[in-house]
Amino acid sequence: IHGSTESGPPIQISFDGGTKDGSSGAGAILWTLNHQGALSKTATAMAALPGVSEVLEAEAWGLKLAIQLAIKSNAQPKTARVCGDCAPITKYTAGQGHIRKQQVVATLETPLGNLARSGWTFIWETVDRRHNAAAHDLATLARENCRTPAG
């Protein structure tokens, strides 16, 4: 994650999803500000996504993992800057856009409802891909563990 937390919450969550050559994966990282003022990984999650072939759906799974990390954590305050490199997903979740792909909406529906009930507040931010490298690396690792056999 890139940037200062001086004006933002001490908790940040990054997420990513990806597809390549018939394999898909997603990853998320919960970061907290340590005593030295640097962000430290507090929790990670990743998922291999067999059957997912659309990058937007893989990105939605990354966000789903991010929401699950927040809800399961004991981090305080329950406010986080949430960063992803997929503008359609962050705009949709911030109420600034629509997604037409029903499978993507279905992937996000329950986690977003759980988020609303959990007491967490997310500040949504789209970041450049190069500033989302850690989450991208987790998604890539998950994707590589999901290789489909050549047929």
- The reported pLDDT for the residue numbered 143 is 94
- The reported pLDDT for the residue numbered 76 is 87
Inter-residue contact 71 to 102 (CB < 8 Å): no
pTM for this entry = 0.89
- The reported pLDDT for the residue numbered 8 is 73
List Cβ neighbours of 48 (8 Å cut-off, separation of 6 or more).
23, 24, 25, 142, 143, 145, 146
- The reported pLDDT for the residue numbered 34 is 86
Find tokens 């993507």 and name the residue.
104
pLDDT in tens, the chain (151 residues): 444 445 678 999 999 999 998 899 999 999 998 888 889 999 999 999 998 999 999 999 999 999 999 999 998 899 999 999 999 999 999 989 899 999 999 999 999 999 999 999 999 999 999 999 999 999 999 999 876 554 3
Find tokens 């959990």 and name the residue.
118
- The reported pLDDT for the residue numbered 30 is 96
- The reported pLDDT for the residue numbered 150 is 46
